[in-house]
Amino acid sequence: MVITMALTTAQAKVVTYPAPAGLTASPYYEVTVNGKSVFVYPITVATIADETGKLRPDRHMIDIPAPAAMCYFDMTGPVKITVKVLDGAPQGPFQSVLVRPLRHAIRPVVKKNTLTFSLQDPAQLSVEPNGSVLAPLFIFANPPEKDRPKPNTPGLLYFGPGEHDLGVHEAKSNSKIYIAGGAVVYGQINGESVTNVQVTGRGILNGKRATQGRHQRWFKSQNITIDGIIQLDSPSWGIKLLHSSDVFIHNVKIINYRGACDAIDVCSSENVTVDGVFARTHDDTFNVKGLTDSHGHGYPADKDGNWLPDGNRRPSRNIRYLNSVIWNDRAHALMIGPETRATEISDVLFRDIDIIHALSVDVIGIFSSDSAPIRNIRYENIRIEDPRVMTLFEIRAHPSYTTADKQMGPVSDVLFKNITVTTPSPLFSALCGDNAKIKGVTFDNLRINGVPMRSAEEMKLLIRGDVEDVRFVVPEK
């Protein structure tokens, strides 16, 4: 059942979705949109802080579940959102709130334990009472859903509102999987050597009962679309593309808490666009890798557990991560490698991304640990709000725990353009050409706390090994 409420203007409306019967709402929040109640789901995130909200020093080594909350709806036109913070919320007595990404400049009106704000356009928000990372509320305000299929459409696997057990579903070519708003589907979706498959909807794909290691895995497949759904509790990587091409991932929300729970890994695949995604992960969030097709997973090992370099190799190229919001608990927010067993990794663009929290190793990393040359990598219009990490940017050519090749590939033509960083403490970066050349790294309009960076010294950049042609560009006012 879909409940639609018309607003005072002809173009404005809100679409809400009732939760499955028997599900208990979050004990921390109540939400209304234009006066209409929206179900708030209790969800699981990783434990990163103690009961006071202070970050745990061992947060990147543990995968203990912690509570948070989430709600979703569709909107057209401006809406008024009211959030009531309930007495049981772990942030302590409610006094203030941060709504991220900060670029939206949302400043709620706060009265007692209630906050109210207006939203003009669809957005993916993190509501953080008292500015704490404990138990945030994620609000997913979707654009209107288009082309919602009918349940009896040929070639369609349709899940209506309610709870469903899918198990492990092996998708077929020329098929569609639809998860309606108000549906919670427990299971996994795989596709091997398939074409023309769609996974769409507004509902939830939950990996809590998963029996295999990936939530969605697409191997040697083409023309795959994943649009609109929410993925929770992945057993490992959220969406894995391997030796695939022509993939479009749009408006997907991914929240994982287990170790090795990347959000989206593009592995030896081509022509991939990831657009408008929200992801909170307990490992790398957006990742590009090079993997062979041995055993379908790229990790062949000998009897002693050593990685083997066998298997077919393909390029990772023409990959776009766009218009997204990231909360990274562990490892790296934007990552290339360390598995780089490909013919090349090239033409990769990360653009218009809000990194609202980065709490572990590097914010942005490029690790050449196998033989693939890595070139033409662009980071543009990246906003980094809360980096509490070891390193801000790191590019290195050096063996890692995944290395199978004897030679590391060179890294060239890397652009950081219009990057803003807001941080209360100094952060370091590094370019380490220990085992291969790093050439042509440009920092164009990099600003830390509003200050333009003009040199390696200013941005605390370590340069070591075979590194050349590092440039700083500061636009004229």
| Structure-block tokens of residue 191 | 């596709």
Average pLDDT over residues 305-323: 85
Share of the chain above pLDDT 70, in %: 93
Half-sphere exposure of 244 (CA within 13 A, CB side): 31
Residue pair 170/192 in contact by the 8 Å Cβ criterion: yes
Residues 131 and 242 placed together within one structural domain of the fold: no
CA distance 382 to 306: 37
Residue 6 has pLDDT above 60, yes or no: no
CATH number, domain of 64, equals 2.60.350.10
Residue that finishes a domain, picked among 81, 110, 142? 142
Residue that finishes a domain, picked among 98, 127, 142? 142
Residue pair 200/181 in contact by the 8 Å Cβ criterion: no
pLDDT at 401: 87
What type of residue sits at position 221? S
SS3 content of the chain, % helix, strand, coil (to 5): 0, 55, 45
Residues 244 and 391 placed together within one structural domain of the fold: yes
Domain count, the chain: 2
Residue pair 378/336 in contact by the 8 Å Cβ criterion: no
Residues 251 and 134 placed together within one structural domain of the fold: no
Residue pair 5/36 in contact by the 8 Å Cβ criterion: yes
| Structure-block tokens of residue 213 | 């290691």
Q: Is residue 67 part of a domain?
A: yes
pLDDT at 402: 87
| Structure-block tokens of residue 84 | 């009531």
Residue 7 has pLDDT above 90, yes or no: no
Residue pair 236/217 in contact by the 8 Å Cβ criterion: no
Residue pair 269/298 in contact by the 8 Å Cβ criterion: no
pLDDT at 298: 47
Backbone angles phi, psi at 447, to 5 degrees: -125, 125
Write the pLDDT tens digit of every residue in 448-467.
Answer: 999 999 999 999 999 999 99
Residue 35 has pLDDT above 70, yes or no: yes
Q: Is residue 243 part of a domain?
A: yes
Residues 460 and 356 placed together within one structural domain of the fold: yes
Q: Is residue 13 part of a domain?
A: yes
Q: Is residue 213 part of a domain?
A: no
Provide the phi-psi class of 130: left if phi over 0, else alpha when psi is between -120 and 50, else beta: left
Q: Which domain holds residue 47?
A: 3-142
Q: Is residue 349 part of a domain?
A: yes
Residue 79 has pLDDT above 70, yes or no: yes
pLDDT at 88: 87
Determine which of 144-153, 191-200, 269-278 has the lowest per-residue pLDDT on average: 144-153
Q: Is residue 435 part of a domain?
A: yes
pLDDT at 9: 43
pLDDT at 308: 63
Q: Residue 463, exposed/middle/buried by CB under 10 A (0-12, 13-18, 19+)?
A: middle
Q: Is residue 200 part of a domain?
A: no
| Geometric angle at alpha carbon 390, from 320 and 58, rounded to 5° | 105
Say which DSSP state 107 is in.
-
What type of residue sits at position 117? F
pLDDT at 294: 67
Residues 120 and 266 placed together within one structural domain of the fold: no
Q: Which residue from 280, 270, 377, 211 is spatially nearest to 69, judged by alpha carbons? A: 280
pLDDT at 10: 46
H/E element, 391: strand 391-397
Q: Is the peptide bond before 65 cis (omega within 30 degrees of 0)?
A: no
Residue 417 has pLDDT above 70, yes or no: yes
Residues 104 and 248 placed together within one structural domain of the fold: no
Q: Is residue 45 part of a domain?
A: yes
pLDDT at 438: 98
Residues 240 and 124 placed together within one structural domain of the fold: no
Residues 251 and 371 placed together within one structural domain of the fold: yes
Residue that finishes a domain, picked among 118, 142, 166? 142
CATH number, domain of 254, equals 2.160.20.10
pTM over 0.85: yes
Residues 447 and 342 placed together within one structural domain of the fold: yes
Residues 362 and 246 placed together within one structural domain of the fold: yes
Residues 311 and 442 placed together within one structural domain of the fold: yes
Residues 254 and 386 placed together within one structural domain of the fold: yes
pLDDT at 258: 84
